Structure 1
Amino acid sequence: MSNFAANIFLAAAWAVLFGSFTWLAMISGFVVGYAVLWLLQPLTGVRSSYFKRVWYWLKLLVLFHYELVVSSVQVLWDIVTPTLLARPAILEMPLDVKTDAGILLVTNLISLTPGTLSIDVSEDRKTLTIHAMFADDPDAVIAALKNGMEKWVIDAVEERA
């Protein structure tokens, strides 16, 4: 049984134990199950990447929501103030993410963030075409996306050797 399946089972057992199948009971059961599985890891002798990947997924969710708020405020500020700060541009970002799921997640996260839009992925899947609303410095925009969203997705989605 995989660690994820065991964690889901422990979360359900936690909810049964407390007689409540609410979201709060399931999430707290998941956290307790995660801690139990992590503590039992030395006893089983099997090292799993599951524990790091859960951390990376949480990091991705939190940091994406932070970027969502920051970019929303930036776009809103540009709309409500009389000065126009937007300098739109079409940019090409080389992709380091390799899996289909990773490419899909990167493109969707970029498109969900106000002020940026994924336009196309090249045939060889090595370049992503992006429209950026605030592209005063195109290299800085690409570097921010690569060091931010793309890196977070690589950490969360792709297997490491």
Structure 2
Amino acid sequence: MSPQMRTTRSGKQRLARYRAVQWPMVLLLALVWWVLWGTYTPFSLLGGVVVAVLVCLVFPLPPLRLEMRLRPWPLVVLVARFHFDIVVASVQVAWTTLFPPKPLTNALVGVRLRSESDFVLTVVAELVSLVPGSVVVEVHRGTHSLFVHAIDVRNDDDVEAVRQRVLAQEKRVVDAFGDFELSEEVPS
């Protein structure tokens, strides 16, 4: 995220400060502290809140704006298809490992996502990387592009198949979490 500049009364430019204490983040950090501490007492929870507030004051982050609507049925479809992809890819990777084609060729496939959301970019990158045989090696946030390393890619049709799998995963993520727009133009 690009830093925002603010003009002071004297006319100098300085970085704008974000609201330092974000209560959802304090709650999350306090719960993590509580679980990691291992003693579930009010005193340890209070200590977690104090530590969380200090962390938020010392390391201020820009506000996280997640205005999304969870859609149950598309979420079930996303999770089911993700598990299906893992099983199929695991079998394919095992087959390729046991009986490698000569020559075994891999590819780095660039995929420009249609959504402008950082949330969608992050979730798609994670889901693609968790499927065996593919890993996201680079992300360009400015263009919302993923660069995916895929194994056993022999020709242009296989490259296009990898690209279409990533775009289909993006569509399922957008359907499941809603309120994100996909551009109508075909990404290159």
Same fold (TM over 0.5): yes
The TM-score, its normalising length taken from structure 2, stands at 0.53
8 Å Cα contact 2:138/2:146 also seen in 1: yes
In the alignment, is residue 66 of structure 1 matched against residue 84 of structure 2? Answer: yes
In the alignment, is residue 140 of structure 1 matched against residue 158 of structure 2? Answer: no
Structure 1 residues 11-68: Cα deviation after superposition (integer angstroms, max 9, x where no partner): xxxxxxxxxxxxxxxxxxxxxxxxxxxxxxxxxxxxxx65xx1111110000000000
How many residue pairs match? The answer is 110
List 4+ stretches of structure 1 deviating above 4 A: none
In the alignment, is residue 89 of structure 1 matched against residue 89 of structure 2? Answer: no
Change (3 A) 1:160 1:111: closer
Instruction: Report the Cα offset of residue 122 of structure 1.
Output: 1.1
How far apart in 2 are the matches of 1:116 and 1:82?
16
- The letter for the 1-side match of 2:173 is V
Structure 2, unaligned runs of 5 or more: 1-68, 182-188
Instruction: Report the Cα offset of residue 135 of structure 1.
Output: 2.0
Structure 1 residues 76-128: Cα deviation after superposition (integer angstroms, max 9, x where no partner): 01111254574211110011132222111100011100000011111414211
8 Å Cα contact 2:113/2:145 also seen in 1: yes
- In structure 1, what is the equivalent of residue 142 of structure 2? 124
- In structure 2, what is the equivalent of residue 77 of structure 1? 95
Q: Percent identity?
A: 31
- The letter for the 2-side match of 1:155 is D
In the alignment, is residue 154 of structure 1 matched against residue 174 of structure 2? Answer: yes
How far apart in 2 are the matches of 1:88 and 1:160?
32
Change (3 A) 1:103 1:82: closer
Instruction: Report the Cα offset of residue 160 of structure 1.
Output: 5.5
- The letter for the 2-side match of 1:140 is A
How far apart in 2 are the matches of 1:83 and 1:89?
15
Structure with the largest fraction of helix: 1
Query: Helix, strand or coil for the counterpart of 1:76?
Result: helix
8 Å Cα contact 2:112/2:143 also seen in 1: no
8 Å Cα contact 2:136/2:148 also seen in 1: yes
8 Å Cα contact 1:85/1:134 also seen in 2: no
The TM-score, its normalising length taken from structure 1, stands at 0.61
Higher alpha-carbon Rg: 2
Shifted more, 62-71 versus 86-95: the winner is 86-95
